[in-house]
Amino acid sequence: MKGLIKPSSLSAFQVMYQGCLKTLKTMVMSYIFSCFIVLSFIMEGKPVDIKTHVGLPQQNAGVRQLTPEETEILLFIREQQWMTSDVCNYFLVIYPMPEFQQIGLSNLNQSEVAHSLLIKNQIKDPVIPHFPGRYSNSGITVQYNNLTSNGKTSQAEALLSCFDLGEYNLYRYLQFKPKVANPDLLNLLSILIRCTQDHIRALYKQANERKLTFSPQYISRAQLDSILMKPQGWDQNSQQPSAKP
């Protein structure tokens, strides 16, 4: 039976410093990703605003524009996914668990998919420049502060915090899906739902091995049990969030 990993003997400054290094790496990855997107525009003969890295509008492009509500959903996804990655990277510095690294990288990749949709739809990116704990959405900033504050006390609390975050993300994305008609955004939501369920299963497995107990806060226990019974990669697209009894 695995025991709890003791927090590494790092000072608050060291944790902040290593967290900043990880963030710098993610920012470099994001910049490289943006360059590839700009290059793809150029290769396709599409005009690009070099300052904003946004493809300029073209006549008869035939691209369905996002509605205001879809735009807000996309902006939320972009920041929420990066915040989730930031939280995992924060915990990874203190508790070197592969789950934190894998989930953090997965959420960063999904955030970059959202970034590509922002570019495609000529929407300003709310994330760049980015610093952990600072987000244009104040609610996301509060969430980051609460999660890291709770999780830094012990590995058990870090696991619980990541589980709560994954459960919250799943609940929101299931809520968003009926409100979206744009095919690109619908596809992204499907990926997010599937991946978030995978993350929940991975975290639950680690918690179960350590005899920790999760209490669902945003979805029902029946819905959580249904997720846990499915194999990794199962897509629960059709199931809507149910209220906790």
Residue with the larger pLDDT of the pair 37 and 126: 126
Average pLDDT, the chain: 79
For residue 185, give both structure tokens: 């955004």
236 falls within a domain: no
The secondary structure of 217-238, three-state, reads: CCCCHHHHHHHHHCCCCCCCCC
Q: How many residues does the chain have?
A: 245
Place of tokens 């897509």: 235
Residue 104 sits in which domain range? 66-229
User: If you write DSSP's letter for every residue of 71-87 in order, what string do you get?
Assistant: HHHHHHHHHHHHHHHHH
96 falls within a domain: yes
User: What gap in Å lies between CA 46 and CA 55, rounded to an integer?
Assistant: 7
Number of domains in the chain: 1
Does the pLDDT value for residue 188 go beyond 90?
yes
- pLDDT at residue 197, as a whole number: 95
CATH number for the domain harbouring residue 155:
1.20.1260.10
Query: pTM to 2 decimals?
Result: 0.73
> Residues near 26 by Cβ (< 8 Å), separated by ≥ 6?
82, 85, 89, 108, 130
29 falls within a domain: no
pLDDT in tens, 101-144: 999 999 999 999 999 999 999 999 998 888 899 999 999 999 99
- pLDDT at residue 241, as a whole number: 41
- pLDDT at residue 129, as a whole number: 82
- Are 4 and 155 in contact by the 8 Å Cβ rule? The answer is yes
Segment (H or E) for 115: helix 98-120
Pairing of strands 54-55, 48-49: antiparallel
Average pLDDT over residues 32-60: 46
Average pLDDT over residues 76-87: 97
Residue with the larger pLDDT of the pair 38 and 134: 134
- pLDDT at residue 243, as a whole number: 38
100 falls within a domain: yes
Place of tokens 């996309």: 74
Segment (H or E) for 55: strand 54-55
Say how many CA atoms lie within 13 Å of 198 toward its Cβ: 16
The secondary structure of 157-185, three-state, reads: HHHHHHHHHHHHHHHHHHHHHHHCCCHHH
Does the pLDDT value for residue 60 go beyond 60?
no
Does the pLDDT value for residue 244 go beyond 90?
no
Poorest-pLDDT segment among 24-28, 42-46, 114-118, 207-211: 42-46
188 falls within a domain: yes
Does the pLDDT value for residue 173 go beyond 90?
yes
Q: Which amino acid is residue 64, in one-letter code?
A: R
Does the pLDDT value for residue 152 go beyond 50?
yes
Biggest CA pair distance of the chain: 63
User: What gap in Å lies between CA 187 and CA 52, rounded to an integer?
Assistant: 25
Q: Which amino acid is residue 144, in one-letter code?
A: Y
Average pLDDT over residues 149-159: 95
25 falls within a domain: no
Average pLDDT over residues 69-96: 96
173 falls within a domain: yes
Residue 43's pLDDT band (cuts 50, 70, 90): low
Does the pLDDT value for residue 40 go beyond 90?
no
134 falls within a domain: yes
